[in-house]
Amino acid sequence: VWTPSAAVRRDCGLADYLEWLEVRTGRHFGSYRALWQWSVDELDEFWTSIDGFEGLGLVEGGHPALVQAVMPGAHWFPGASINYAEQIFRRALGPDEHALICVSEDSVNRVSWRELRRQVGSLAATLRSWGVTKGDRVVGYLPNTAEAIVAFLACASIGAIWSVCSPEFGTAAVLNRFGQLRPKVLIGATQYSYGGKPRNRVHELRHIASSLDTVEQVITVGGIGDGDLDRAVTDWTDTILGEEPIEFEEVDFDDPLWVLFSSGTTGLPKGIVHGHGGIVLEHLKTLRLHCDLRAADRFLFVGSTSWMVWNLMVSGLLIGATLVVVDGSPAHPDLDRIWRLVAEEQVAVLGLGAGLIKSYMAAEQQPGQTFDLSRLRTLTVTGSPLGPEGFFWVRDNVNTNTWLASCSGGTDICSAFVGGVPLLPVRAGRIQAPSLGVAVAAWNPDGNPVIGEPAELVVTKPMPSMPLYFWNDPDGKRYRDAYFRMFPGAWRHGDFIEFDTDLSSIIHGRSDSTLNRHGVRMGSAEIYSAVEQLPDVVEALVVGVELGTQYYVPLFVHLRAGVDPQLAKQSIEAAIRFALSPRHLPDEIVVMPGIPHNRIGKKLEVPVKRMLQGSELAQTVDPGSVDDIDLLRRYEQFARTRTNQPTQSANADR
């Protein structure tokens, strides 16, 4: 569906790196496969080359980049110091150039590099005056606005550890996360807007602040209003009025930068700690080489502050890009909002969740005919698998010259295992190749690599952005259990991936939600691809569960208004038979008023599966991490009626 032009082959960041590398090493890499193979065979040399190409100065005096190539326990760039925020301001464009273009639902705020530096310096000085030092935690209850970015960079500059939750999270979900960190400072928004409706969060912010007994200072964005807080309260504007220059704290390569949290859909969220150095290296590599983000580009990634793509977006500043920061609903005032912004702000690199692409397809949008999208060079898609029809839609309805760079990774590494390569053609429905420096493979249950069949996604060698540790996990047991229990010494991520001989891949969904019928493993993504392209279907969710001696596979569907359920079920069965096989047919098609998701839009397959296995809703999910808890209760009610579900006649010919 896309082939790189001569200009892309000449001008992309990966071509620049390859030319630099061949001159410096005397090697000649005749293909991306050869380059990737070298990058995983010679990890030390590869990451040293990224250090050199980016001018970071991490390797001095002949010290190796990697001391212990074991997992867990790899030790990167011993003795090196690097501050994430300092690297950003080292790479800034001219002081009057735009660093941020912040677009809310009703206004636009343009922030120059000069102003960004001033605000970060002022807030950092304020935090220092309150006694915040390296290793202290500062947390934000903030939407995707300039304030969130300024707060994070101020924390990074002084070596404080940052964590953020989007304000649509309920108080219980926030406290399940922030309560683990014992923060010293809370920065919170008193309101946000979504879908044209202002949402007051004063009550929630008061509850969060009063429940975090370690918080000494509260900064409010928007003012707290009437009422007292049992904490010192400062208005945001008072913290950014100063003219203090930024004093960057010296931090080690593996000093903590931030704590990201797992979704919390299967228990208390895990606090995932990443370091300054690992994130700088990984994000420079990912954005410059695999997304082709360039200095002075406009970069827009649609997502909330609770999704790791926010962190990746902020790292666009490391490249010298201008961030187009979008707050509110991507569908307000209409579904054209993002495309309108891409055209108006001349966005070069756009990041979207696959679910948003599917909503554009369902609405039969043709943004390329409505807007000038000629400057859109890269469209990177993540969050969930995107089927072939999504690739064709982008080609036919966005811009035939836009490179669709599908990728898959995780909060755990705050990056991608497999992703885009601007020097390779794009095949519909497939991720182009493994990322450089990522020794990724598909392993069967015996721990053997396989090609051409879905299997566990594993990484066999360390990456610098793997977690330093989990928060409150002093002996590392939770960390080891999360990734290394199935295959000791190899990272098992929990995704179901299938590689082809050309290194391209397909993600078939989470392996813990994979269907296993008569010993044949089937990914939920291929069923979604077959079903969700039907005009009657808004969205679907499928799970498989052992009930007694039988394996039960219900397919939940959200149908468009006015659709006849029986006719829709017939068309769904026909589509699955045609696209897949009779073996893929569900035991039951269940019409529901919606499909439940977590706060970043991922389907709640595992919690639904656990409820069908007999667990109570409260045991399967943190209510604050769910987009619609009342909808999920409908699934719990359904699960109670299906504890002994017989196999349906729909599968008699399987």
Q: Which domains does the chain have, with CATH numbers?
A: 514-651 (3.30.300.30)
Residues 352, 321: contact at Cβ < 8 Å?
Answer: no
Which one-letter amino acid corresponds to residue 162? W
pLDDT tens digits, 16-26? 999 999 999 99
pLDDT tens digits, 399-415? 999 999 999 999 999 99
Strands of the 491-499 sheet, one edge to the other: 440-443, 455-459, 491-499, 505-510
Instruction: Give the residue, 643 or 179, on which the prediction is more confident.
Output: 179
Instruction: Give the residue, 85 or 264, on which the prediction is more confident.
Output: 85
Distance CA 635, CA 619 (A): 14
pLDDT tens digits, 626-637? 889 999 999 999
177 by Cβ neighbours in 10 Å (0-12 / 13-18 / 19+) ranks as buried
pLDDT of residue 548: 66
Which run of H or E residues covers position 355? helix 354-362
Distance CA 654, CA 520 (A): 12
Q: Is the pLDDT of residue 313 over 60?
A: yes
Confidence of residue 568 (pLDDT cuts 50, 70, 90): very high
Distance CA 164, CA 162 (A): 7
pTM: 0.87
146-158 vs 113-129: helix crossing angle, rounded to 10: 60
Name 194's bridge partners: 197
Distance CA 175, CA 628 (A): 19
Which run of H or E residues covers position 499? strand 491-499
| pLDDT mean over 614-623 | 85
pLDDT of residue 521: 64
Q: Is the pLDDT of residue 650 over 70?
A: no
Confidence of residue 266 (pLDDT cuts 50, 70, 90): low
Instruction: Give the chain's mean pLDDT.
Output: 92
pLDDT of residue 169: 85
Residues 389, 533: contact at Cβ < 8 Å?
Answer: yes
| pLDDT mean over 515-534 | 78
Q: Is the pLDDT of residue 309 over 90?
A: yes
